[in-house]
Structure 1
């Protein structure tokens, strides 16, 4: 591979921009300005959600936008601060900082660097497949749990009531007790801001409703008479961007942050790939998961060096440029330029934003990610999976987001293992007019060959399901009418065998022969399965198993016996 080809593979965004066409400029500029306008209030709101001063949201977004435009494979993905990642980071860092604000900020930057390092190492190890670790039910439940946690986290800022609890149910209970402490002005302004954001989102999804709502609330507070604002405001925002620097933390701090970083990487990467793929499929290009893992790592390294906090991506900031017809990653560069200009020029104005308006931004984001349609879809398809999603959501809101991630991953693995341990199986029959054997349960008119039983097991055969395989074959032999002389095992669905399965198969074949079967055969076995059967001396002439390339070949041998 030439140096140019390797560089193009490492920097796919550069390749797209090198082939830039003039006709793409207008939609890219419009989309970039729109995404930048969305980022201004969102960055501040999500920084506060992460427990950081609002300006750190800007610090966390500029470098990632520029880096992703060069390294990412999606032409639309809206990288930057995201509520789920922010609250997950806050959960992990809060316990370590122990109330020390300066240490909290330092640990957040260190966490972003650690997420970045894990992402780069994962990409080097070709671990892009981890995007498939979380199943749809678990993702629906996790995202819903995060949305409910976000809602509860904003009770105090949105209502003005003093809420000290740090979990969903205790927060709701405390609000019920402290309802008399709700400030009507704070609640009214927050409610009006939220209503405006939701109306704009409903009527014109491509318009930055969060910016409009926050701007309207700020103007209203500024216009009211009085020396002091009638509600709590953000306060002073430093001008300009911070000097790039590495946080001063110890090795013990990195070790303590490692589980949090791994959880953020898993959730952020899964969400990034799913979001990017959904948009790419509609616009005719492909996403490279390993390159996306590298991009997530590098964007977080950029956020950490810029004294920011961990970032991933936003579905809304991804959908908007696609809806506006953008074609390239120039959108991210334009958005970054607008954010920098805002921070440099409008810092005094940003400091006058009401905190309840930023809470409204977060609540709007939370409402958008609570996946009620996802639950309805799961309920129609599988009530078991809908229940799994509900359990994942409870894991997030009852404990915390990090525990919720662990619960989600564990549930995904258990569900996968459960399906492999008890896979689909079937007795097959011959259906006249079709070139092949079909399941007799699906096609009752299919006929069986007298004295011959054809059975299929649809999973790799290994230690977890070897006993299940043996039990199911015995059940089928016992329930099948007539006396079988031959058993043909359709191995097309058995892609691999482990040592435990080989030993179990050897014992089982011997037992079947003692039960009176004249021959046990395998049909349509993969090359690797045949090789393992031969290595274990299970195939003739060393063993008792016979192998046929097709079911029909085994049936012909039976008829000619």
Structure 2
């Protein structure tokens, strides 16, 4: 990973690499680039077809982002391109709005890439890369598992040689299963697809072996030699146009604006989360640093460029990045070599895969989608926090039931609600003194904790703001009412309180008045200076009184004991 840069080097990390590039890296990057290309071609074609587009556009969407990321990308190892996690989103918009027209399908996909790119670019420039952190791990697992099953369901008709369904995942699955039961499947098409899966899985243990390329070449030769497309109606890729992508503005119709915007937003969210996680994991692994905001800028620029050059949305690849690493990639020169080889393929031998069967492409996507599943960590989450596990299951069910875009939207809403709920209903505690343990602790967790007569120690474990201010007041007054001895002082242990807004300040002012009627004084301990500054700005500081603030809970307790005739002997004083 590249170190933190300044000036133009920060915006164009690829330029700074030129000065530091070592001669010993050349042969490694070239070799890794050729190895990577063996995977880029079949995967690019497969993801294009899975997205409802002609295969050629998957190769265009492979070349362009590799070139852009080599210039703007902060990671020396990350590979960008078409990704299985995005195919279901693109397909959902394309199937619903393209009406079977491949030109319109490309226009919709290209504009979604541009929308997603602009959102990513905005997130990076405004330094909003942290936004993806709001999606908790269980929620990410939920929608990614939902995307994985949706992608797999969308590929089953191709695997069985059946017509594709334009309905949602569940209806599509029902139609596929029904057709198979009625023996309407093309069994030769299925056999070719299963053979592809078998070869790919067989080559998995051999990291440097281009198993994917071997699989598609083998089945292409078989289909072409035995003319299975004619004798058994095995659908094939057909001829790929020769030449490189050209600049084109994907103009869409007014009726397509809303679905494209929704699709672009969903793509931006998924690609931001995936790229952020993958780049961070490689940064940690290699002991380096990756600027997440620059990562967003590079991802955004790559998507915008791809949308204008006859491609569709791209993301980081969790399957091709490890291939580049295992092959010995040192820098983004590997990506440049990969892009060059793919370009050479388009110029010299575009028809070499004309007999590639659709079921083989479906097999490639099925294996990729399978790798998106996360089960083992969900088992751990179920053991330690069942609530978060079921939250993940809800997001999974939403994507599978309502489709990818709607499902992801629901997942975002659930994430926001879950985030706000933690602040709306935070943990609070009444504190007491436990013999033999320093400090003051929650009396519900320490049954032998003792409370100082006349003193209520109350801890609030969250920022104090409009949504929870009323609850703060209710719980504190309830604690006063439930006290075993008449309360004279209330001390709020305020270290966890990181902010107080205007509404909360007014609520605290009301609380002071209520407590005064019962001759109870409100105090605060361990309050942070920035929070105290806000209280002063609100005019609440004078109302509370300077002498009501203490640096520690212990100092507040000591002052209370000194100013009141209390029979209390602390265990440390015995």
TM-score of Structure 1 vs Structure 2, range by shorter chain: over 0.9
Q: Distance in 2 between matches of 1:153 and 1:213?
A: 21
Give the 4+ runs in structure 1 shifted more than 6 A: none
Q: Distance in 2 between matches of 1:61 and 1:488?
A: 62
Q: Distance in 1 between matches of 2:395 and 2:217?
A: 37
Is the deviation greater in 250-259 or in 407-416? Answer: 250-259
> Residue 272 of structure 1 aligns with which residue?
275
Is the deviation greater in 358-367 or in 281-290? Answer: 281-290
CA apart distance, 1:206: 5.0
Distance 1:480 1:533, change over 3 A: same
Q: Does 1:199 align with 2:202?
A: yes
> Residue 219 of structure 2 aligns with which residue?
217
Is the deviation greater in 47-56 or in 378-387? Answer: 378-387
Q: Distance in 2 between matches of 1:120 and 1:392?
A: 27
CA apart distance, 1:366: 1.2
Structure 2 unaligned residues grouped into runs of 5+: 564-574
> Residue 376 of structure 1 aligns with which residue?
379
> Residue 530 of structure 2 aligns with which residue?
528
Q: Structure 1 residue aligned with 2:554, among 545, 552, 555?
A: 552
Q: Structure 1 residue aligned with 2:296, among 293, 296, 305?
A: 293
Q: Distance in 1 between matches of 2:544 and 2:151?
A: 65
CA contact (8 A) 2:119 2:268 kept: yes
CA apart distance, 1:431: 5.0
CA apart distance, 1:379: 0.7
Q: Distance in 1 between matches of 2:401 and 2:19?
A: 50
Q: Structure 1 residue aligned with 2:315, among 301, 312, 315?
A: 312
> Residue 179 of structure 2 aligns with which residue?
178
Q: Does 1:502 align with 2:510?
A: no
Is the deviation greater in 549-558 or in 351-360? Answer: 549-558
Q: Secondary structure at the match of 1:189?
A: helix
Q: Distance in 1 between matches of 2:29 and 2:13?
A: 18
CA apart distance, 1:251: 6.8
Q: Structure 2 residue aligned with 1:476, among 476, 479, 485?
A: 479
> Residue 138 of structure 1 aligns with which residue?
139
CA apart distance, 1:329: 1.7
CA apart distance, 1:541: 5.7
Deviations 1:189-232 (A, max 9, x none): 1112112222322x234544322221221122233267946421
Matched pairs, number = 556
> Residue 24 of structure 1 aligns with which residue?
25
CA contact (8 A) 1:80 1:313 kept: yes
CA apart distance, 1:528: 2.5
Deviations 1:153-212 (A, max 9, x none): 0111101123435322112211232111111111111112112222322x2345443222
CA contact (8 A) 1:222 1:229 kept: no
Q: Distance in 1 between matches of 2:228 and 2:291?
A: 56
Structure 1 unaligned residues grouped into runs of 5+: none
Q: Secondary structure at the match of 2:378?
A: helix
Q: Secondary structure at the match of 2:495?
A: coil
Q: Distance in 2 between matches of 1:415 and 1:60?
A: 36
Q: Secondary structure at the match of 2:319?
A: helix
Distance 1:531 1:460, change over 3 A: same
- Residues 411-430 of structure 1 mapped to structure 2, 5 A cutoff: 411-430=414-433
> Residue 118 of structure 2 aligns with which residue?
117
Distance 1:268 1:93, change over 3 A: same
Q: Distance in 1 between matches of 2:397 and 2:270?
A: 17
Q: Distance in 2 between matches of 1:220 and 1:269?
A: 40
Q: Secondary structure at the match of 2:89?
A: helix
> Residue 80 of structure 2 aligns with which residue?
79
Q: Distance in 2 between matches of 1:292 and 1:65?
A: 14
Q: Structure 2 residue aligned with 1:367, among 347, 367, 370?
A: 370
Q: Distance in 2 between matches of 1:110 and 1:156?
A: 27
Q: Distance in 2 between matches of 1:274 and 1:407?
A: 22
Q: Distance in 1 between matches of 2:164 and 2:50?
A: 15
CA contact (8 A) 1:130 1:270 kept: no
Deviations 1:488-540 (A, max 9, x none): 101111111111111111112222232342x2111111222212222333334
CA contact (8 A) 1:73 1:288 kept: yes
CA apart distance, 1:381: 2.1
Q: Secondary structure at the match of 2:540?
A: coil
Q: Distance in 2 between matches of 1:225 and 1:124?
A: 54
Q: Does 1:538 align with 2:540?
A: yes
- Residues 12-161 of structure 1 mapped to structure 2, 5 A cutoff: 12-161=13-162
**TM-score (ref. length: structure 1):** 0.93
CA contact (8 A) 2:36 2:323 kept: yes
Deviations 1:428-467 (A, max 9, x none): 3345666643444455555433322222111111111112
CA apart distance, 1:409: 0.6
Q: Secondary structure at the match of 2:458?
A: strand
Is the deviation greater in 329-338 or in 56-65? Answer: 329-338
CA apart distance, 1:544: 9.3
Q: Secondary structure at the match of 1:104?
A: helix
Q: Distance in 1 between matches of 2:259 and 2:162?
A: 33
Q: Structure 2 residue aligned with 1:408, among 401, 407, 411?
A: 411
CA contact (8 A) 1:88 1:260 kept: yes
Distance 1:192 1:505, change over 3 A: same
CA contact (8 A) 2:493 2:525 kept: yes
- Residues 205-284 of structure 1 mapped to structure 2, 5 A cutoff: 205-224=207-226, 228=230, 230=232, 231-249=234-252, 254=257, 257-284=260-287
**TM-score (ref. length: structure 2):** 0.91
Q: Structure 1 residue aligned with 2:401, among 391, 398, 402?
A: 398
CA apart distance, 1:298: 0.5
